[in-house]
């Protein structure tokens, strides 16, 4: 079953199916930019980070595709300062993108990804509870998609014909023992440091590459926790609410897991700013619930 067949079976509109086709159609264009795409541009994004050529190019490819599709009302990207208002009169979707998560890993040939969320109300700042679909594309030995909607989470693999085929429906995060901790240990708060020490004492295995998509995908597959906490020098955390934390929390919940900011459910947050950041604890539901008690 292809992704399009899956969407049709689950009652998604023709417009959403067309939007997903548009996004999938950009994968090869983005991958073609990988060679030499790790070069710096001398341009800094809204977070004060120097953009990599590939980040910038992937962003341009996707935003152009959204404009040309006439399906998108609003688009928000990690590489843009403001929400982009599309001019199409029939555009109905709000879309957020992290155009290339983990681009610094390109020179080492490690896996990277692209993160999307869709708001069928067309308003990307209306609150994360209004996400209706979220998915990521993992560019590794295989090109995979994990797609989540009201029916749950499913996994697809990209074939030689440029089509995603369903390989697993009803994906559930197991209660496993992997942990993927972001941030420098010396910058961790005392509660978080104690939490990680407790996991290590329980025999949890460290898995961390520095790219959210492959690191979370390991948690989705084997169970455990991904976390990028509040830091002593970054009390609001590092990961972007709209582009990273929100979509991944949606996927985690639809796969039977959980995503919190240390206290509250991430999907209950209504963003105040496009570039808002948040601490993240995401993964196996029972584990997240246990850890929340230790952080409070």
Q: Choose one of 145, 168, 191: the last residue of a domain.
A: 168
The verdict on residue 156 lying in a domain is: yes
Q: Which CATH number belongs to the domain containing residue 195 in this structure? A: 3.40.190.80
> What local confidence, expressed as pLDDT, does residue 296 receive?
63
Co-location of 39 and 97 in the same domain: yes
Q: Choose one of 142, 168, 194: the last residue of a domain.
A: 168
- What digits encode the pLDDT tens for the residues 209-249? 999 999 999 999 999 999 999 999 999 999 999 999 999 99
> What local confidence, expressed as pLDDT, does residue 232 receive?
95
- The closest alpha carbon to 242, from 116, 112, 65, 55, belongs to 116
> What local confidence, expressed as pLDDT, does residue 93 receive?
98
- Name the 3-class secondary structure at 21: helix
Co-location of 109 and 239 in the same domain: no
Identify the bridge partners of residue 118 per DSSP, sorted by sequence position. 95, 133
Alpha helices in the chain (DSSP H): 3-9, 14-24, 27-31, 53-69, 190-201, 212-222, 246-254, 285-295
Which segments of the chain have a pLDDT < 50? 41-42, 47, 50
Are the C-beta atoms of 97 and 114 separated by less than 8 Å? yes
Q: Which residues 6+ apart lie within 8 Å of 13 measured at CB?
A: none
Q: Structural domain of residue 221, as residue ranges?
A: 178-295
> What local confidence, expressed as pLDDT, does residue 34 receive?
83
The verdict on residue 173 lying in a domain is: no
The verdict on residue 118 lying in a domain is: yes
Are the C-beta atoms of 270 and 127 separated by less than 8 Å? yes
Co-location of 42 and 163 in the same domain: yes
Q: Please give the tally of structural domains in the chain.
A: 2
Co-location of 142 and 182 in the same domain: no
Co-location of 206 and 248 in the same domain: yes
Q: Choose one of 107, 135, 168: the last residue of a domain.
A: 168
> What local confidence, expressed as pLDDT, does residue 39 receive?
53
> What local confidence, expressed as pLDDT, does residue 108 receive?
80
Q: Which CATH number belongs to the domain containing residue 164 in this structure? A: 3.30.540.10
> What local confidence, expressed as pLDDT, does residue 33 receive?
87
CA angle 125, 253, 192 (to 5 degrees): 85
Q: Counting beta carbons within 10 angstroms of the beta carbon of residue 29, is it exposed (0 to 12), middle (13 to 18) or buried (19 or more)?
A: middle
- Name the 3-class secondary structure at 45: coil
The verdict on residue 283 lying in a domain is: yes
> What local confidence, expressed as pLDDT, does residue 41 receive?
47
- Name the 3-class secondary structure at 68: helix
Co-location of 36 and 160 in the same domain: yes
> What local confidence, expressed as pLDDT, does residue 4 receive?
97
């Amino acid at each position: 079953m292809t992704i399009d067949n899956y969407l049709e079976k689950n009652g998604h509109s023709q417009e959403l199916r067309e939007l997903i086709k548009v996004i999938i159609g950009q994968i090869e264009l983005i991958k073609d930019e990988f060679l030499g795409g790790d070069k710096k541009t001398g341009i800094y994004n809204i977070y004060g980070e120097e953009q990599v050529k590939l980040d910038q190019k992937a962003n341009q490819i996707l935003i152009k595709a959204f404009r040309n599709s006439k399906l998108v009302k609003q688009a928000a990207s990690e590489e843009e300062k403001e929400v982009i208002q599309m001019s199409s009169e029939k555009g109905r979707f709000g879309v957020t993108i992290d155009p290339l998560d983990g681009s610094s890993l390109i020179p080492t040939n490690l896996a990277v990804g692209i993160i999307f969320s869709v708001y069928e109300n067309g308003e990307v700042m209306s609150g994360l509870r209004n996400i209706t679909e979220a998915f990521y594309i993992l560019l590794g030995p295989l090109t995979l998609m994990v797609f989540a909607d009201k029916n749950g989470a499913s996994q697809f693999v990209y074939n030689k014909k440029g089509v995603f085929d369903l390989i697993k429906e009803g994906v559930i995060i197991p209660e496993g023992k992997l942990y993927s901790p972001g941030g420098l240990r010396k910058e961790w708060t005392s509660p978080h440091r104690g939490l990680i020490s407790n996991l290590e004492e329980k025999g949890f295995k460290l898995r961390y590459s520095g790219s959210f998509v492959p690191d979370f995908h390991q948690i989705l597959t084997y169970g455990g926790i991904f976390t990028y906490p509040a830091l002593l020098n970054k009390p609001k955390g590092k990961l972007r609410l709209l582009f990273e934390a929100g979509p991944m929390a949606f996927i985690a919940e639809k796969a039977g897991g959980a995503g919190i900011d240390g206290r509250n459910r991430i999907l209950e947050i209504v963003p105040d700013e496009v570039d808002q950041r948040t601490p993240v604890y995401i993964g196996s539901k029972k584990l997240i619930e246990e850890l929340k008690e230790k952080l409070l």
